Chain A
Amino acid sequence: MGDVVLSIRDLHKIYPGGVHAVRGVSFDVSKGESVAVIGSSGSGKSTVLRCINRLIEPTEGAIELRGEQINTPGANVNEVRSRIGMVFQSFELFSHLKVLDNVTLGLRHVRGMSKSEAEAVALEVLERVDMLERSEAYPGNLSGGQKQRVAIARALAMKPEVILFDEPTSALDPELIGSVLETIRGLADEGMTMVIVTHEINFARDVADRIVYLDKGKVAEEGPSSIINQPKTERLQKFLSSMHEENV
C-alpha cells in the first residue's frame, strides 16, 4: 500500500460516566484506501470516528494525520478538522441556508475564499454528487438521499485528506440508499481516502479495500474485504449471520 494518511494507535475512550467504550483500537489508513468499520451497536465504531477529528477527546492513545500527532493540547484543532471531512448519519445540513450556501459557508469562513470563488468550487462538487439542479433549494425541501449527497458535497468542497462517513445510509429509506452508495462508490473509484462506518455489509464488501470489525471496543478482526465472505473469527461469523437474518 501507499503512504499512511491516518494512523490510530492504541485508542482508549472512557466516557465521564465510566463507560469504557473504546479499549485500545489501532489501525492505519493509506492514501487512496477506503476502510469500512463494521460492528454491532455499542461496539465503539462512532466513538472511534469522532475521536479521529476530535469531536470527542480520546482518553488515551495517539492519532496521527500524515505522521503528525493531532490529539495534543497544542494542536490547532480547527486546522486539523478542516483537513478531515465528515458525513453524518442525520445529514446535519443547515436548514436556514440554501444548498449552495451550505456548501460555500465552510470555504468562505474557514478557507477564506471570496464568494465567487467559493461558489465555483461548490458548483463543481455539487455536480460531482449530481445535485447541481437543486443548488437553490432549502434542505427542508430535499429528500433524505439528496440531503446526504449535499452533505457529502459539503465535506468534499473542503478538499479533505480523508473523509469520515458515520453510517451515511442508516437514516435513509431503502430505496434512497442506492444513490448515496453510488456517490460514495464513485469517490472510492476516484481514489479518495475514506473511513466508512456502516451497517451495509454488502456495500462494505464491494467498496472497501479493507474491513475493520470492532467488538466491545476492540478490533476483533481486520483484513481485506474478502473476510466478509470468509470470516476467520467466530464473532464476526455470528455478526454476519445476524446481519443476514436482519436483511432477510
Chain B
Amino acid sequence: MNSASPGIERIFSWSSLDPKSRVVLLVSILLICSIPHSSGQETITGWNEAESWTENDLNAAVIHGEIVWVFGDFGTVRFSEDSGATWQNHTNLGDVHLISADSYENSMAVLSSDGIIYMKDSFESEWITIDSSQTGMKSIALAGEESLIIVGNEGAIWHYTGQTWWNRTTSFTENLHDVDFNGDEDGLAVGNGGTILATDNGGTTWDYREAPDPESSIVSVSYFNTYRMFAISNSGQIIYSTSPGGFEWQLREIESAGYNTTLATNLSSIDVVSSSRILFTGPDGYLGLSLDQGLNVERNILPVGVNPSFNDHAMFDYVVGIVVGDSGVILFTDRAGENEDIGFQIPDYNNFGEFVEYADEMLLAGFIATVKIVIFGIMFGFVIGVILAMLKTAPTSFKNLLERFSTSQIKGFGAICSVFALWLIYSGMSRFPELQLNGIEYIFTPVGDPRGFAMFGLGIAIFVISIQFIFADEKLTGPLFKIRPLNSLATVYTDFFRNTPLIVQFMFIHFGLRLGMRIQQVLEGTLGDPGIDGLDYFFYGDRTFLSAIFTLGLNSGAYQCETIRGAIAAIPTGQMEAWRSIGLTYMGTMRLVIMPQAIRICIPPIGNEMVNLVLNSSLAMVIGYSELSRQGKLMIATTFQIFSAWGLVMVSYFVVTWTLALLLRRLEEKTKIPGLGISGGA
C-alpha cells in the first residue's frame, strides 16, 4: 500500500527460488519452446538408410539374380539378400578400386581401376579374373554371358569375346565415361565432347551419333529399350532418343526447371527403371526422380544426416532398389525414392492427437486472450473497488461540506435552485399541451414527450431539495444535510451493477454505449493507428477487448467494493481515533493505517472475487471477444468434438484460476502480520 508498511514483498522473485525450482522452471520453459511447430503439408523422404559396415566410397551397384551387390574403393564388396535393407561382408577383391559393374543373366562382371575384371556365374561360384592389361578404363558392360565391353580414356573400347581381347577403338578419341547394352546386340557408349557411339552387333563395330550439344560431357547412358534411350551430361542436361538405333538425339527442355535444358546441378548417373520413370544421382547429395521421362524432375528428400556424393543405382524393378554413394552410404527404397506426402489428408478429429493438432493454436489464442482481460479486469476492478469502498465509508455529509458557508449563502443558493426548478417544471409542463394530453391525469401516460416529462420530474426533485436549503437553520439539521453524497453515489453504483446480469451489462456497454469503439477512437486520435500487431494493437487494437475489460472491471469493482468495505468495517474505530488524535487527515489515516490492515483482512474474499472475475470473463464471448469459451465454440464448429473441446477449455480455465489462487495464497502468507487476526498456526 505504501512504503512505510513493511511485510509487503514481491510475490514472485527469482532470487527467492531455490536452485532446484529454478532448474525445473528453466527446463520447462525450454521444453515448451522446443515443441516443434506442426504444419499439415509436410513431405518425408522415400529413402531409408542401410548399414553398409564400411566407410569406403561405393562406386557401383548391380543386381545379380536375387542378390544386390555393391562395389567400392579398396576392393570393398557387400551384398544383400533382402533388397538392400541389411548388408553382409564379402571378401575384398584385392587392394584395388572397383569402379563399374554389370550383369547379364547368369554373369556378373566388375571392373577395377587397374583394368582387372572379376566375373562370377552364380552366387556360389568362385570369382574368375580376366586381365585386360589396360588402364584408364571407366565402365564395363556385358553383351551376353561370355562377351565383355570396357570403355575408357581417349576413346578406348575393348571387347572380350571367345577368350580373347579385341581392340574396337574408333577414330573418335574423346574420353568415354559409360557404356550400356540392351540385350546382347545393341549398345551405347558416351563420353566427352558430346560423343555418342552406337553398336548393333554386340560391340564389334561402333558408329558415331550426333549429340544435340557437342560441348556436353556425357557421363552416363541408359539403353532401356529400342525406343527409350536416355543420357545425362555432368552439367545436368538430359538427352534422349526415341528412334530405333539411336540415330537422333534431343536435348530435354525440363519443365520443372522453367524449360531450361539443364537441371542446374551436377549429375553422375542415370537409371531408367520404367518407360517413364527415371532416377538421377549426383554429387552434393543429389537424388532426383522423374515420373515423365525427364520433363519434371523432383529432388528427393534425403534421410536426416545423409548428404554424400551419390554414384550409382541398382533397381530390381521400377520402385524397389538401392543407391550407393561416398563414405559407404547405401539407401534403399520401395517407392523409387519418391517423396512421401503426409499432408492434405482429411483429419480424423475423433483421434485426440489430430484434434489437438488442429485445436492447440486456437486454444492458446483463447488462453492468452482470457489472461489478458483477466489481468486488466482485476487491476481495474480492484482500483474501482477500493475507491468505492472509500466513498462508502466516507463520513462526509452535506452538513460537513456546507459548514464553511454562512446561512445566508446557503439560503441564497436554495433560492436560485428553486427558481431554476420552477422554470424546469414550467417548461416541462408547457410541452404537454402540444401532445393534447392536457391535465394532470396524463402525467403517467407512457406516450408523449420524454424530454418534457424528464424536465418536469427533475424540476420537482430540485424544488424539494432547494426548499430545504431555503429553510436551513444555522446548525443545518434538516434531513438533507445528513445525506452523505459520496456514500449515496457509491451505493447507487454498486446497487446498479450488482442487480443487473453481467451478460446484459456486456451487451449494453459494448453495443449500447459502444464504449470500446469510443475509447479506441480517442486512443487512435492521440496515439495513432494501432495497426494489426505490436504493442499498440495489444492495447487498443481490439474494441471488444476494451469493452470487455471495462465491463468486467466495473462489475467486479461493485462486488469487491462490498468486500473491502467489510474489511474496513472490521478495523476497530479506535485505530481511526488514535491516528486522528495524532493529527493526521482522514485520507492519510485511510492510506497509512486503515487500508493496509483492511486489505490484508480481505485478501481471501477478494481472491474469491477475482476467481469469479476469471470465470465471468467467459461471458465476453457474447460481444465477440475471442476468449477461451468462444474459441471452444469455434473448435466445435469445425471438429464436432464437443467433449474434448469443452474439456480442454475447462482445464485451461482451471489453470488460470488455480494459478491465481496460488498467487493470492502466497500473497496472503507474505503479507501476514504477527498478532493480526486469527489465521491458525503460529
- A residues with CB within 8 A of B: 50, 53, 55, 73, 78-86, 88, 90, 92-98, 101, 105-106, 108-110, 138-141, 151, 154-155, 158
Q: A50, A84, A92, A155: which has the most chain B beta carbons within 10 Å?
A: A92
B597 at the interface (CB under 8 A from A): yes
Q: Is the Cβ of A96 less than 8 Å from the Cβ of B600?
A: yes
Of the candidates B577, B580, B674, the one whose C-beta lies within 8 Å of that of A138 is B674
Q: Is the Cβ of B577 less than 8 Å from the Cβ of A97?
A: no
Chain A residues in 8 Å Cβ range of B584? 78, 106, 109-110
Bound: A140/B577 CA distance, A: 19
Give residues of chain B (661-682) contacting chain A, Cβ–Cβ below 8 Å. Answer: 673-676
Q: A108-B4, A138-B675 are in contact. Are A158 and B582 (CB under 8 A)?
A: yes
Query: Who on chain A is nearest to B600 by CB?
Result: A96
Q: Is the Cβ of B675 less than 8 Å from the Cβ of A139?
A: yes
B401 to chain A, nearest CB (A): 12
Chain B residues in 8 Å Cβ range of A93? 578
B 579-602 binary contact with A (CB < 8 Å = 1; else 0): 111111100100011001100100
Interchain residue pairs with CB less than 8 A apart (8): A78-B580, A90-B574, A92-B572, A92-B574, A93-B578, A94-B579, A101-B5, A109-B588
Of the candidates B577, B579, B585, B596, the one whose C-beta lies within 8 Å of that of A96 is B596
B398 to chain A, nearest CB (A): 15
B648 to chain A, nearest CB (A): 43
Q: Is the Cβ of B582 less than 8 Å from the Cβ of A106?
A: yes
Known: A101-B4, A140-B674. 13 other contacts (CB 8 A): A81-B580, A81-B582, A88-B578, A90-B572, A92-B572, A94-B575, A108-B4, A138-B675, A139-B675, A140-B675, A141-B674, A141-B675, A151-B578
Of the candidates B575, B577, B592, the one whose C-beta lies within 8 Å of that of A109 is B592
Bound: A138/B5 CA distance, A: 12
Chain B residues in 8 Å Cβ range of A95? 597, 673, 675-676
Q: Is the Cβ of A154 less than 8 Å from the Cβ of B5?
A: no
Q: A73-B403, A73-B404, A92-B577 are in contact. Are A79 and B583 (CB under 8 A)?
A: yes
Q: Is the Cβ of A55 less than 8 Å from the Cβ of B673?
A: no
Bound: A140/B672 CA distance, A: 12
Query: Who on chain B is nearest to A89 by CB?
Result: B574
Q: A53-B581, A55-B581, A88-B578 are in contact. Are A96 and B588 (CB under 8 A)?
A: no
Q: Is the Cβ of A86 less than 8 Å from the Cβ of B578?
A: yes
B391 to chain A, nearest CB (A): 21
Chain B residues in 8 Å Cβ range of A106? 579, 582-584
Q: Is the Cβ of A96 less than 8 Å from the Cβ of B676?
A: yes
Query: Who on chain B is nearest to A90 by CB?
Result: B574
Chain B residues in 8 Å Cβ range of A83? 583
Q: Is the Cβ of A96 less than 8 Å from the Cβ of B581?
A: no
Chain A residues in 8 Å Cβ range of B5? 96-97, 101
Bound: A85/B404 CA distance, A: 27
Q: Is the Cβ of A81 less than 8 Å from the Cβ of B583?
A: yes
Chain B residues in 8 Å Cβ range of A158? 582-583
Query: Who on chain B is nearest to A138 by CB?
Result: B674
Q: Is the Cβ of A78 less than 8 Å from the Cβ of B404?
A: no
B353 at the interface (CB under 8 A from A): no
A79 to chain B, nearest CB (A): 7
Q: Is the Cβ of A88 less than 8 Å from the Cβ of B574?
A: yes
Give residues of chain B (50-97) contacting chain A, Cβ–Cβ below 8 Å. Answer: none
Give residues of chain B (581-625) contacting chain A, Cβ–Cβ below 8 Å. Answer: 581-585, 588, 592-593, 596-597, 600
Q: A96-B7, A96-B600, A109-B588 are in contact. Are A138 and B673 (CB under 8 A)?
A: yes
Bound: A56/B226 CA distance, A: 121
Bound: A80/B582 CA distance, A: 9
Bound: A97/B675 CA distance, A: 11
Q: A92-B577, A109-B588, A140-B676 are in contact. Are A97 and B6 (CB under 8 A)?
A: yes
Chain A residues in 8 Å Cβ range of B585? 78
A95 to chain B, nearest CB (A): 4
B 104-123 binary contact with A (CB < 8 Å = 1; else 0): 00000000000000000000
B 130-170 binary contact with A (CB < 8 Å = 1; else 0): 00000000000000000000000000000000000000000
Chain A residues in 8 Å Cβ range of B581? 53, 55, 81, 84-86
B408 to chain A, nearest CB (A): 16
Chain B residues in 8 Å Cβ range of A78? 580, 583-585
Bound: A79/B580 CA distance, A: 10
A217 to chain B, nearest CB (A): 21
Q: Which 3 A-B pairs have the closest CB atoms?
A: A140-B675, A82-B583, A92-B578
Bound: A139/B581 CA distance, A: 19
Chain A residues in 8 Å Cβ range of B592? 105, 109
Chain B residues in 8 Å Cβ range of A151? 578
Bound: A155/B600 CA distance, A: 26
Chain A residues in 8 Å Cβ range of B676? 95-96, 140
Q: Is the Cβ of A154 less than 8 Å from the Cβ of B582?
A: yes
Q: Is the Cβ of B675 less than 8 Å from the Cβ of A94?
A: no
Bound: A78/B588 CA distance, A: 11
Chain A residues in 8 Å Cβ range of B596? 96
Chain B residues in 8 Å Cβ range of A88? 574, 577-578
Q: Is the Cβ of B583 less than 8 Å from the Cβ of A110?
A: yes
Give residues of chain B (514-557) contacting chain A, Cβ–Cβ below 8 Å. Answer: none
Bound: A53/B582 CA distance, A: 10
Bound: A84/B403 CA distance, A: 24
Query: Who on chain A is nearest to B403 by CB?
Result: A73
Query: Who on chain B is nearest to A59 by CB?
Result: B475
B 236-277 binary contact with A (CB < 8 Å = 1; else 0): 000000000000000000000000000000000000000000
Q: Is the Cβ of A94 less than 8 Å from the Cβ of B577?
A: no
Q: A83, A93, A94, A138: which has the most chain B beta carbons within 10 Å?
A: A94
B 1-20 binary contact with A (CB < 8 Å = 1; else 0): 00011110000000000000
Q: Is the Cβ of A94 less than 8 Å from the Cβ of B597?
A: yes
Bound: A94/B575 CA distance, A: 7
Chain A residues in 8 Å Cβ range of B588? 109
Q: A109-B592, A141-B675 are in contact. Are A55 and B582 (CB under 8 A)?
A: no
Query: Who on chain A is nearest to B582 by CB?
Result: A106
Chain B residues in 8 Å Cβ range of A90? 572, 574
Query: Who on chain A is nearest to B591 by CB?
Result: A109
B674 to chain A, nearest CB (A): 4
Chain B residues in 8 Å Cβ range of A109? 584, 588, 592
Bound: A167/B678 CA distance, A: 27
Query: Who on chain B is nearest to A81 by CB?
Result: B583
A192 to chain B, nearest CB (A): 17
Bound: A81/B579 CA distance, A: 10
Bound: A146/B580 CA distance, A: 22
Chain A residues in 8 Å Cβ range of B675? 95, 138-141
Of the candidates A50, A98, A110, A138, the one whose C-beta lies within 8 Å of that of B582 is A110
Bound: A81/B673 CA distance, A: 29
Bound: A64/B577 CA distance, A: 21
Of the candidates B6, B572, B597, B600, the one whose C-beta lies within 8 Å of that of A101 is B6
B670 to chain A, nearest CB (A): 13
Bound: A44/B675 CA distance, A: 33
Bound: A78/B577 CA distance, A: 12
Of the candidates B6, B574, B580, B600, the one whose C-beta lies within 8 Å of that of A98 is B6
A53 to chain B, nearest CB (A): 5
B580 to chain A, nearest CB (A): 6
Bound: A194/B196 CA distance, A: 127
Chain A residues in 8 Å Cβ range of B572? 90, 92
Chain A residues in 8 Å Cβ range of B404? 73
